[in-house]
Chains A and B, each alone.
Chain A
């Protein structure tokens, strides 16, 4: 089946630093990938849609200068949280679309101190 990986699975950083999260589709090529944020005991909130070779489309209220998304290849998308602050602490999940189905990565837990 379609497998999506994320790295790192856990990251702790100091306030003001930047953190990069990688999302890879391991056994298929994904023209489109998605980035979600999930707060405790809540559903997933779509942050942005990432299309290979073009600029990401951000959802309303998501700061594109703070959450930089790059989708340089058909198997890799990255999310960089710039100048992270404690309120950015969350669970970030990526997904990659294979035909009509989205497959999800295992998530990255970010804690900003």
Chain B
């Protein structure tokens, strides 16, 4: 069975600082990995995804993530945080894209001015 662990339910950074949100997964087959962002009272917006190929993937709003098979990780980063980045972030995994997403518990990102 697949699972996702997001380390840190709440991360707080200063505006302009590096954002690092951690995600580790468990999967018996090559995973498809996703990061979504959720603003209050809204649905989820796809930030980026890894399916195959290049392990460093770039997404919207300046975010990127690197798939590291040896570490079973897919951490999300952004060089410089903006106030508008404050939201809930979810990491998710699926089995070759054919199975429902399995979500982590989410990490709430706060950005301090």
Contacts and interface: CB of A to CB of B under 8 A. Distances in A.
A100 B90 CA distance: 17
Contact of B41 (A4, A97, A105, A109): A109
Nearest to A106: B43
Contact residue range for chain B? 20 to 34
B43 A99 contact: no
A50 to B, nearest CB: 11
Contacts, number: 51
Contact residue range for chain A? 20 to 34
B104 A43 contact: yes
Interface string B85-113: 00000100010111011011110000000
Main secondary structure of the interface of B (DSSP, over half): loop
Contacts of B90: 43-44
Main secondary structure of the interface of A (DSSP, over half): strand
B6 to A, nearest CB: 9
B43 to A, nearest CB: 4
Nearest to A105: B43
Given A42-B105, A43-B106, A103 B41 contact: no
A94 B41 CA distance: 14
3 pairs of A and B residues whose beta carbons are closest in the complex = A100-B97, A104-B44, A104-B43
13 contacts: A4-B43, A34-B101, A42-B106, A43-B90, A91-B41, A93-B44, A100-B96, A100-B97, A101-B49, A104-B44, A105-B43, A106-B42, A107-B42
